[in-house]
Structure formats: structure tokens, C-alpha cells
A and B are shown apart, each in its own frame.
Chain A
Amino acid sequence: MEINSDGRMRAITDTSFYKNQTRIALRNCGLINPEVIEEYIANDGYMALAKALTEMTPQEVIDEVLASGLRGRGGGGFPTGRKWQFAADAKGDIKYVVCNADEGDPGAFMDRSVLEGDPHSLLEAMTLAGYAIGAQEGYIYVRAEYPIAVKRLNLAISQARERGLLGKNIFGTDFSFDLFLRLGSGAFVCGEETALLASIEGKRGEPRPRPPFPANKGLWGKPTIINNVETYANIPVILLKGADWFGKIGTEKSKGTKVFAIGGKINNTGLVEIAMGTPLKEVIYDIGGGIPNGKKFKAVQTGGPSGGCIPAELLDMPIEYDTLIQAGSMMGSGGMIVMDEDNCMVDIAKFFLSFTQEESCGKCPPCRIGTKRMLEILDRITKGEGKEGDIELLESLAKSIKASALCGLGQTAPNPVLSTIRYFRDEYEAHIKEKRCPAGSCKALIHYEIIADKCKGCGLCAKVCPVGAISGEKKQPHVIDKEKCIKCNSCFDRCRFDAIRKY
């Protein structure tokens, strides 16, 4: 890593980390003061709203969003303009605009960044959506675990009201619109749109079958559009710069950019926004800075608990909605967890499945019971108690759950298991048939041994062993008592002579 010793001044906006990005949704994040409305306005904030309200009809706004090709950034990737058209066409005087800010995927924090760093862009976009579909009110459903986001949203709303950008007769027109916050209590399932709407209504956050879709019967039974934070954050720019400009970024079927939260075994943990179609490799190596400690890249998990693991041989793949799905994963909200050779893929699948299993609301049996059974099998495999036929059983359970669960949470829950079986079947087989964890990560399956030829008898391992499992005379090869060993890896880390073997 090169530090400026040449004395040249440098700002974060000059680094290749920043310059390799295309920032639309994050255009103001980290650059403006989110608590001062004038700083948003200084960067053309609320200009799109002024333009739409004074120069465009609601249908023209929808047409622009349709033409841009913008697709939902929260998971499913449904075309945003079509959603808006359905709600605009739905009959009724009262309609609602809802923002899904219930970001819950482990390791995903892009929505939080927008809420904390640029709350007015969300307010402007939701007001535009209200104008487009004919709504008078909107709700932002944000998790209570994001206290700074909640504080800045409240501040932004009150500033927008003072400036007349929310409330009655915005920009002197007869369009009136206001926004309210609703705080979620951290149930993952409330990120599912029908559960989210139920939660806003004060009911238990449980999904319901669709149709009817929210565009026809949403909040309190009225036509409702619901988009996520990142989707909305694109809207003001699309209206200001035009659908043609937006359409030039990205690929034919995936327009624009996507924000990813990169974490795990990667040098530059953080948040990046890249043009759709950028190869995975570029994100991980050029922007993310590669894998730390000279380790080998093994896989990248995208799409959170609903997504899957993409192996090294697919690193050249361009990032698009459809390529990710073909690879057995999905765009999801944009979590990207990088794994190296020390990660056991069976254990990774178990981690994600235990998350969805715990967050399953319990309404439908495939998700409630199915994910539990799958988790039990994975647990057995990682403990060395796997049986012949377990992989096939997992696959068959996964297939049934995907086909029969009530909502997106259950339908996608088996993805981490299916994608790891698809690309790392040999690891599953090693656990089941040879009772061996190739990554050396599953504790029940690894053993430690001292190689007598290499051991100098320095005694360091015996000193760091927390359970006194290592013994031996000074300057003589030591031995590990396997009965006592708790596999904490301390001796392995400390030995200076590579005399400890992990197998």
C-alpha cells in the first residue's frame, strides 16, 4: 500500500478506490452535511421535484422511470416503472408510497449509508413517486436499530416541511404530500413487503399470499408502491439527467449502478457503487484490494441469506441481475462477503441457513419446518455425523421449500445450501465420507499433532495451551493429548518451527 510520502496532497475522492466507482445512489454520501438541507440543495437537490411538479405530468414521470430501465435494488429486481404504473392505474382516491428501509441482510449497510448520509434524496424521490401515482402520504419503514438514520430522517423531514418541500401545495401547485416514519423492531421477515405493510398497520409482521399485489391492495387495502432506499435514491438523478443518460450506464438488462457492501476476507472493507456489468474480479481486486495475508480467494457470497456462493472460476462474470441468478445466487440488497481458503463452505451454508431458520416467522410449514430439518442435517455433517444420502436429502428438501414457501424469505432460504453443493460438492463429500473438513474449519473434524522431527522442544506450545494438553521434556519433542485438546489453534499459531500439523 502506497502512502504519500511525496508530499502531494490527496483527498479520498482522488483515490482509485473512489475513482473506479460510478456514484449515483451514493452521489452525496460522505460529501455533504446530511443535517443541512441547503447542502443537498447546493448539489441540485429538489431540482427534479421542481421540474416534475412544474413541467411534467404524473404519467410523464412514470414514463421516464420506465424508460430508464431501473429495477428494484432491494432483492427481486422488478422494474420500478412498471410497479409505479400498476399503482397509478389502480382505482382509488387514497394511495400510499412506502419505503422499505428495513435493511436486514447480515453484512449489508448500503441503505443505512443513504439514510444517514443523504436523507433528502429519499424524501425527494418518495415525493416524486407520490406525484406520479397520485398519493398524498408516504411511510418510511426503518429499523429501530438505526438510531442515527432515524434522527437524521426526522431532521430532514422537519426541514423539508419548513421549506415547503413537504406538506400542502408543494412548489405552489395543488399537489400535497407528507411523509412519516415507522420504526421496525428488527424482525428480518418485515423486509418482505406484505409483512412490512402489516407491521406499519400495527399488525403482526407476517407475510400474506400475493396476489393481490400491494400496487392494487397495499397499505390499509389501498394501492401502494413499495421500493427500497437505494432504488429511490436513483430517482431524482434519473428525472434530472434523463432516462437516456441513465440507460447508457450498465448493461442491456441491468441499467445503472449497484451499491455493494464488501466485507469478509478483503482488504478494503466498505461500501462501493459500481456500474452494472462490472466483472466481479474488478470489484474484489481493483476496488476491494484483494485478499489479506496472501491467502487464496475461494468464493464470494452475494445476496445475503437469499443468495449463494460464487466460486473462483466465475470471477470474470459481469455483475448483472440475470448472470447472478444463472450462477445460483442473486443481486439481493448487495451484500458481498468474500471468503478465502480457510472458510469451510458447509459451515458457511450452515451460518446463512441458521440465520433464516431463526428469522422464519413460522406462518408457513415449508419454511418453519423445512429449514429446521435442513439445518439439522448441516449440523450433523459439520460434526462428522453425516450419512450417505444427506446431500440428496438436502437437495430434495431445498427443492420443496423453494416451490412451496409463502414468501421470498422461505423461497430463497435454501439458496446458500444449493449453491455450495453445486460448486463445492467435494467439500460436502469430504465431511460425510472421510469425516474431514478440507478448509480445516469444522472443529469436530480437525486434529492437531506434533511432528517430532521438526519439534525443537522449546515448550512454547505447552505454555500457550489453555487446557494443558501438551507435555514433553525440554529440548525433546512434545506431544498433544487428543482427549484433552479443545482445538483452539493456539499452539498452531505460536509454533515457530511449523512443527504442528493440522489434519
Chain B
Amino acid sequence: MAVINTMEELKKVRDKAKAALNMEGEANKTRIVVGLGTCGIASGAGHTMKAIEDELKKRNVENVELELTGCIGFCEFEPLVDIIRPNQPKVTYIKVDEEKARQIVEKHVINNEIIDEWIVPNI
């Protein structure tokens, strides 16, 4: 990683990182984000993460970025999994165990079918 020496260089790094996060020019990409704060891990998010990783590998799914994030404050409903795609609203699944995780990969990520029952309720 290069040293950032000026405000200009920082802005360049920022814009590049922003574009990557927004998946600009990558219409077929998917970002899967698993909540791995202490609350998530305590609810089994580590296993959720592994199950997703395993399922992606088993099914040879490409163009997917699997990432972790911290606690968003919704600890009661962990493990939380976000599915983010360019030009589509973000979807958050709640209480995602290993089994749900595998199905989310199969249905949502591969077949583009959203699993309504597991989406976060509007509380």
C-alpha cells in the first residue's frame, strides 16, 4: 500500500474505493456482507460466513465479494446478511443460520429469487 501524502492523494484513494464499493461498471457483481461483531459471532455468524463461502465454492459462483462488517445495533436479529447488487435495493436477511445461508446463495445469489420470509421486518 502506498503512503498517502496529500489531500489530493487521499481524495484519489477515496474515489477509487467508493467506485469499487458501488460496483461501478460491474453490473453482474454481488456483495455479500455478514455482520461479524461480537453479537453476530455469538449468534453463530462465523458458521454462517463459512457456509456461504463453502456454498459459493461448491457451486462455482463467480463475481461475488464476501465481506464482513461490524454491529449495526440490531443485535436481537443477528446473524445479519446483506445482499448488495448494483442498481438494486439492498436486502437484509435476519437470523441467518448455516442452512438459511446456503439457501440464500442458491436462491437469491444464483437464481435472483428473494426469500421474503427471512427479510428484516420493518420494526
Please report A residues at the B interface, Cβ cutoff 8 Å: 1-5, 7, 9-18, 21, 26, 29-39, 41-42, 44-47, 50-51, 54, 109, 112-113, 116-118, 146, 148, 159, 162-165, 171-172, 267-273, 289
Contact = CB atoms under 8 A, between A and B. Distances in A.
B103 interface: no
Given A34-B69, A109-B39, 5 more contacts: A29-B70, A116-B71, A268-B74, A273-B73, A289-B123
Contacts of A109: 38-39
Contacts of A39: 17, 21
A40 to B, nearest CB: 9
A13 B90 contact: yes
Contacts, number: 171
B7 A148 contact: no
A148 B41 CA distance: 10
A386 B35 CA distance: 49
B18 A42 contact: yes
B13 interface: yes
Contacts of A118: 70
Contacts of A10: 89, 91-92, 119-120, 122
A16 B67 CA distance: 25
Contacts of B36: 148
- Interface-centre pick from B5, B16, B73 (highest chain A CB count, 10 A): B73
In order of increasing CB-CB distance, the 3 nearest A-B pairs are: A117-B70, A30-B72, A164-B3
B80 interface: yes
A172 B10 contact: no
Contacts of B70: 29-30, 32, 34, 113, 116-118
Contacts of B37: 29-30, 112-113, 116-117, 148
Nearest to B65: A33
Given A31-B69, A109-B38, A165-B4, A1 B123 contact: yes
Contacts of B1: 37, 159, 162-163
Given A12-B82, A31-B69, A42 B14 contact: yes
Contacts of B20: 38, 42
Nearest to B120: A12
| Interface SS, A side | loop
B4 A11 contact: no
B117 interface: yes
B114 A116 contact: no
8 contacts: A3-B116, A13-B92, A15-B121, A16-B122, A34-B69, A46-B10, A117-B37, A269-B75
A14 B72 CA distance: 13
B120 A15 contact: yes
A117 B120 contact: no
Interface in B82-114: 82, 88-92, 114
Contact of A17 (B13, B41, B74): B74
Interface of B: 1-7, 10, 13-14, 16-18, 20-21, 33, 35-39, 41, 67-76, 80, 82, 88-92, 114, 116-117, 119-123
Nearest to A47: B10
Contact of A33 (B14, B67, B88, B90): B67
Contacts of A14: 89, 122
B37 to A, nearest CB: 5
A46 B92 CA distance: 29
A11 B89 contact: yes
Among B35, B37, B76, the most chain A Cβ lie within 10 Å of the Cβ of B37
A9 B7 contact: no
A316 to B, nearest CB: 23
Contacts of A18: 72-74
A30 B120 contact: no
Contacts of B38: 109, 112, 116, 146, 148
Which of A7, A30, A162, A172 counts the most B-chain CB atoms under 10 A from its CB?
A30
A133 to B, nearest CB: 23
A467 B10 CA distance: 70
A5 B37 CA distance: 29
A3 to B, nearest CB: 5
Contacts of A38: 13, 16-17, 20
Nearest to B94: A12
Nearest to B74: A270
A339 to B, nearest CB: 18
B90 to A, nearest CB: 4
B73 A9 contact: no
Contact of B76 (A15, A29, A31, A270): A270
B3 A41 contact: no
A17 B82 CA distance: 17
B80 A12 contact: yes
A372 to B, nearest CB: 33
Contacts of A270: 73-76
Contact of A16 (B4, B114, B123): B123
A12 B74 contact: yes
Nearest to A169: B5
B123 A117 contact: no
A11 B82 contact: yes
Contacts of B10: 41, 46-47, 50
Contact of B122 (A15, A21, A33, A269): A15
Contacts of A269: 75-76
A369 to B, nearest CB: 36
